[in-house]
Amino acid sequence: MQTNSQEYWQALRTIKAIAQKCGDEGDRIFEAFEYASALHKDQKRKSGEPYITHPVSVAEIIAREFEILDVTLLCAALLHDTVEDVPHVDLSDLRKRFGQAVADFVDGCTKIGLGHDGNSVYMTHSKILKSASRRLGVLIIKLADRLHNLRTLHYLSSAKRQKIATETLDIYAPLAAKLNIYHLKRELYNLSLMYLYPRKSKKILNHINQISNDPKIVEIRSTLEEALRKLGISAQVRSRCKGLGSYYNAQRKTLEVHNAENYVDFTIVVSSEDELLCYEALGIVNRTYPPLPRTIRDFIASPKANGYRSLHARFHHAGQNYLVKIRTPSMDTWAQYGILRRWREDKEFFREEHDDEIAEFLREIAEYQGPSTHRKELLRYTEGEEIAVYTPKGDLYFLPKESTVLDFAYRIHTQLGDHCRGGLIDGKKVSPVYPLYDGATVEILTTTEVLDVDPEYETICKTLRARAGVQKLIQRRRRFYAEKIGREIFQQIITLLGLKAENANFESMELILKKTGSKSETDLYVKLGQDVLGPEEVRRIVSEIISVERGGFLRFQSRQLAVTIGQIDRAVHKFAYCCKPYPGEDNCMALLSERGVTIHKGECTDAVTRHSIPPDRLFRVDWLLDDPWDSPIVFRITVPGVSLGRLLAKWPDTSEYEVIELAQKLDRYGHASALCLARMKSLRDAKNFFDALTRDFNVSIETYFREKSMNGDRP
């Protein structure tokens, strides 16, 4: 970048103004600016401006708009793209020149360089959030970075604009809401939605403009001011129209006028820090405009997890609903600036240790291993409507609307969630996935056994902690089953090499573990059972080691390896949609993965042609037909293209099942399909039922579940 260019001098003036506000430490900001300018000197933005204008703008947003004058954070903001965009610079260079804290901030902001696929983006978000759980400044820099990118988004291609705007809606705007930075959240939503829905945004902005000039708003504000004045309460009354974000339904991906719960909020800020004045003001508001039933919320006595405090009341007037928020001046400052306010008061507050609730949330969302869609959904829930739920002792917890008993159990303690078998609400026993209502008192019922979770629980639960807990329990089950399968496969390999299966634990096992990169025998079996290690690779390693030990070549009998299946578990066993096999069907094969076992018909070519699975990784299924099931299993079955009457005419005449439900549905062309919910007690019962049914019809298993895992009342 030419130091005599207009852009350079403008950037320098900005840095000078920031440095002056930082006092004696301002020289460090000049040093960071000069260093970043030199590194970015040959780079330009899509607008044609020198690249250094971007990090300077990020630092300016932090200093002027966020009002944070932390020199370390501002230096990191100026340097946040250096490691990512300048090949010859690494973190050690920054550490030597600017210190460990600056290097840590920059490291947290640096993308993982694995390309531009979905997985690398997911991992980058995980890294940012994990770093922010230790140093919140990482997230502050990323939010300022995203805000400036959105303000200059018009220079990019349409595809990139769509991508950045979508990512902002899914990740950054909800995070700004979680930190309670109101003005930032509002602008992130407004800018993103205007790029994603330009026509609808224009229409809704016109709607917002009309509302802001509505005489009814002036009338309500004046009425509230007069009512407060008459009873001697000095307060400021403000009205505020909702931004575009309130009109956006993230679940349906729609931007519509009717999506907003209400169009205008009123804020009453009493003149002193006396909290009792807020309650007096609430009484006056309720007498002036009677509240809607069950809408008064006391966030002063019970603050939100992010520190937000106010009294809320909703009322209906002249055909519209309105929300009134009542607070003290300090509460009002927090409501607008959130976590930034505490940073201003104490620069060191978020340097090493910060609010446990925020840190734990960021760490949990970073470590969550579910699909990216689930992570986005969980972030969305954090800013949605909440319900208040009580323990029998009267302890209050806030949860996202439609949370379940299991969400509540995990919110109290992880162990309580792991052992939850249901709840007691108003003397009624309910299942772990029973939805809670606002004001409910819930007693968690536990068992000594670990919860037998169904995979469906993960999508039913609304909180991060519950979903992560369910996911860990499912992964534990899958790992346990993978170890069992891997042990079987290993023993078959040993047998086919002419060795005795009971001699699998021979002295050379340590060498086998080393060659396969396994920490223990259990680790080796799990890798085999999850197809991380292929049987052919293990056979070759074992053969080489034993051949050297015995001084001779081991002959391997070529035979397809098998896995045995008796108990079936939806968290582990999946019946492939391509060929639609069923439990106990003859001539089936299995594919192994970290997500469990997928069963195909033996003649199915999908695994080989589409997924290029080598023959040694296709396993014969040996069904253990005489092993009883621990509990009955309910199958949801579809018989496509068949009417209910035709199905009943050839219904299997056996007593080995119980029909729970029979129904018929029509597609949009009027073609009928029969639906069935049937309960079976053993694998042999299931085989006999499906053998008989598939003689005349094509049958598809939509899903199945163990009956005991779904007991109690369900939504």
Q: Which helix (H) or strand (E) holds 141?
A: helix 137-151
**C-alpha triplet 193, 46, 173: angle, nearest 5°:** 30
Q: Quote the DSSP letter at residue 247.
A: G
Q: Which residue has the tokens 């042990």?
A: 487
User: In 197-214, which ranges are continuous DSSP H helix?
Assistant: 198-212
352 catalytic residue (yes or no): no
Q: Which two tokens stand for residue 98?
A: 């600017």
Take residue 32 and report the two structure tokens written for it: 């960071």
Around 546, how many Cα atoms within 13 Å sit in the side-chain half-sphere?
21
Which two structure tokens, joined as six digits, stand for 158? 């349409």
Answer yes or no: 667 catalytic: no
3-class DSSP state for residue 452? coil
Residues 6+ apart with CB under 8 A from 340: 66, 67, 68, 140, 179, 181
Retrieve residue 602's tokens.
């033996």
Element (H, E) at 255: strand 254-255
CA 418/CA 472 separation, integer angstroms: 10
Strands 396-400, 428-430: parallel, antiparallel or unpaired by DSSP? unpaired
Find the catalytic residue in 85, 256, 364, 627: 85
Helix (H, G, I), strand (E, B) or coil at 215: helix
What are the φ and ψ backbone dihedral angles of 323, each rounded to 5 degrees? -115, 130
Tokens of 59: 């630092």
Q: Give every CB contact of residue 588 below 8 A, 6+ residues apart in sequence.
A: 581, 599, 600, 601, 602, 620, 621, 623
The residue among 436, 429, 471, 435 whose CA lies nearest residue 454 is 471
Q: Please give the Cα distance from 539 to 534 (Å, whole number).
A: 9
Q: Give 700's strand partners.
A: 638
How far from each other are the two terminal CA atoms of the chain, in whole angstroms? 62
CA distance 645 to 187: 58
Q: Are 476 and 458 in contact (CB under 8 A)?
A: no
Tokens matching residue 624? 């253990």
Collapsing DSSP to helix, strand or coil, 312 comes out as strand
* Contact between 130 and 367 (Cβ < 8 Å): yes
Other CB atoms within a 10 A radius of the CB of residue 345 amount to: 8
**Which residue from 700, 709, 708 is spatially nearest to 676, judged by alpha carbons?**
700
Closest of 271, 281, 336, 337 to residue 313, by C-alpha: 281
Closest CA to 695 of 657, 663, 660, 647: 647
CB 133 within 8 A of CB 362: yes
* Tokens, residue 1: 């970048």
Single out the catalytic residue among 25, 34, 65, 84: 84
Give 34's contacts (C-beta < 8 A, 6+ positions apart).
none
Q: Which structure tokens are listed for 414? A: 């992880």
Per DSSP, helices labelled H in 551-672 are 606-609, 644-649
Q: Where are the beta strands (DSSP E) in 125-228?
A: none
- What amino acid positions are annotated as catalytic residues? 84-85
